Amino acid sequence: MSGTSRHGLVLAVMAGTMAALGSVFAKLAFDETLSTLCTNLIVHDITCGWVTLVSRVVCFMSVFGSNGLMWILFTKSMQYSISTVEATVTNTASNFLVTAILGCLIFGEVLSPRWFMGSVFIVCGLLLIHRSGDKEKAE
């Protein structure tokens, strides 16, 4: 794998991570997680209301920022990758995996054994695509 191709894969993973963060920001903006956290940390209801409101606005704006950055990184990853399929699959797989990890860490979501089996299939498919791209390039 050449340095340029590796650079494309890193950009695709970063793009998938930004897409996952966009989802997290959206959930934080419209979920009750922020108000629950604020209530647990701050005693005054008036202060908590303002903190929650500002936090929701910041999260809402971060959705657009992270998605914009995702598109920039994804476009660059397609430019440097062996094929657009490789960039797309890498972006999607990293988005899927990072979203699940952040869902567990931030929102306490539970991942089933079926999810782990599916993620193994996604990673195996990604490796097959990378491998076929390397063979095409070698020929």
Confidence of residue 138 (pLDDT cuts 50, 70, 90): low
CB 133 within 8 A of CB 83: yes
At 24 the pLDDT is: 93
Kindly report whether the global pTM for this prediction surpasses the value 0.95.
no
CB 129 within 8 A of CB 89: yes
Q: Which residues contact 3 (CB under 8 A, 6 or more apart)?
A: none
Report the Cα–Cα distance between both ends of the chain, in Å, rounded.
Answer: 13
Average pLDDT score, the chain:
85
Question: pLDDT, tens digit, for every residue of 75-126?
Answer: 999 999 888 888 888 898 899 889 999 999 988 889 899 988 988 888 888 7
**What is the domain partition of the chain in residue ranges?**
3-138
pLDDT greater than 80 at residue 131: no
| Residue that is written with structure tokens 């005054």 in the block | 44
